Each structure stands twice: as C-alpha cells, then as structure tokens.
Amino acid sequence: MAEDIKEEVKIEEKVEQEQELEPEKVSDDSSKDENKKEKKNKYKEQIAKLEADYKDLKNEYLKVYAEMENTKRRLKEEAIKDRKYASQKLIGELINPIDMFLQIIELPQSNPDVKNYQIGFKMIASQIIDILKADGLAPIEALGKEFDPKFMHAVQTEETDDSENIVLKVSQPGYMYKDRVLRPAMVVVSKKKNIDEKKEEE
C-alpha cells in the first residue's frame, strides 16, 4: 500500500515538473515567432527600398536617354542645315559686286571696241549668275507685284490713280537663297491720290 502511494506521489511530481517545463517551451516558441516576424519585416523594408531605388534609377536613365536622343536629333538637324546653306555667306558677298558689274556693262557705249568688250563681259556675267542660280540663288520678282514686306523694302512711294500698294519700280533687285531672303528688293510702291488732290487737279 505504501509503495502504491509512493508511486502516485512520483507520478504527480513528474506531472508537475512537465507542467512547469511547458510554459518555458511555449515562451521559446513565441520568441522564435517574434524573431521570424522581425526578419520578415526587415526583408520587406529592404525590398521596398530596393524597389524605390530601382524606380529612381530607371527614371534618371530615361531622362538621360531622352536628353541624348534630343541632342542627337538637334545635331543632325544642324548638320543638315549647315550643308543646305553652306554657300549662303559667299553668295551674299558676291551679290553687290555682281550687281555693280551688270550695271557697268549695261551702260550705253558708242565706241565699237568697248561694245565688243561689253558683249564678252555680259557672257561672263551670265555664266557666273547661272552658276549661282544652280546653287540656289533666285531673283525676287517684284515689278508689278503687290508689295510684300517679307521680300521687299519700300524706299519711296508714288501717288497714282491705279491700284495701291503695287511695285512701280525696282531700285535694287532682291535675291533669295533657297528658302531664305538673301537681300530684299528695294522698290517704289504706289499710293492712291487723296480726293482733295484729285479735285485740285481737275
């Protein structure tokens, strides 16, 4: 009987010991879970930071790429423009002396020898002008046309009974170089007489 009681006491003590150990085990499991959560949250923060950094770098790359493309396109356009108008400065400087040359050879001459020289000079001038025209030079057609300030410069006005704002005379010819005005035409433009002046004349 005594032995049975001792055995029961031992069993009870063992159960109590196991019960005392169980909270410690639960505490260890809880601590492990907390550590896992902390690590998981830390990884999430790192991933979010990496994603934000990647987004910023991608935006910077796209900006730099767009700037490079714009620069390439601008340089290409400038190179095309430079080639297109490469002769503009030279032709612009030749216009005035050529005009003076043409005016001189158009002067009336009575001397037969000088007239022969004029014919030769006219041929040379014609060849020079043809070369310049082939490169893009073109005269501005102004006489008898409506005055256009984009291509003409009015140096004088003359009253007339006819239409107003019409070019009556070209004082100096104008020229285009391709699609640019190389030199505007200097012109005399018509201006309608006012009513009082007409009455006085009548």
Enumerate residues 6+ apart whose C-beta is below 8 A from 175: 95, 137, 138, 139, 140, 181, 182, 183
* pLDDT tens sequence for the chain (202 residues): 545 544 554 555 565 555 554 554 445 556 666 777 777 788 888 888 888 888 889 999 999 999 999 999 998 888 888 888 888 999 999 999 988 888 888 888 888 888 888 888 889 989 999 999 999 999 999 999 999 999 999 999 999 888 899 999 999 999 999 999 999 999 999 998 775 555 555 5
- From CA 56, how far away is CA 201, in angstroms rounded? 83
- In this prediction, residue 147 carries a pLDDT of 95
Kindly give the interhelix angle for 88-105 and 112-134, rounded to the nearest 10 degrees.
160
Partners of residue 181 on adjacent β-strands: 176
Helix (H), strand (E), coil (C) string for 65-103:
HHHHHHHHHHHHHHHHHHHHCCCHHHHHHHHHHHHHHHH
- In this prediction, residue 19 carries a pLDDT of 53
- In this prediction, residue 172 carries a pLDDT of 93
Give the long-range contacts of residues 174-178, CB within 8 A, separation 24 or more.
174/139, 174/140, 174/142, 175/95, 175/137, 175/138, 175/139, 175/140, 176/137, 176/138, 176/139, 176/140, 176/151, 177/85, 177/87, 177/88, 177/91, 177/92, 177/136, 177/137, 177/138, 178/84, 178/85, 178/136
- In this prediction, residue 131 carries a pLDDT of 93
CA-based diameter of the chain, in Å?
A: 168
- From CA 116, how far away is CA 123, in angstroms rounded? 11
- From CA 83, how far away is CA 95, in angstroms rounded? 20
Enter the tokens of residue 86.
Answer: 């490469």
- In this prediction, residue 26 carries a pLDDT of 46
- In this prediction, residue 114 carries a pLDDT of 85
Type and span of the H or E element at 149: none
- From CA 191, how far away is CA 159, in angstroms rounded? 4
- In this prediction, residue 123 carries a pLDDT of 92
Amino acid, single-letter form, for residue 145: K
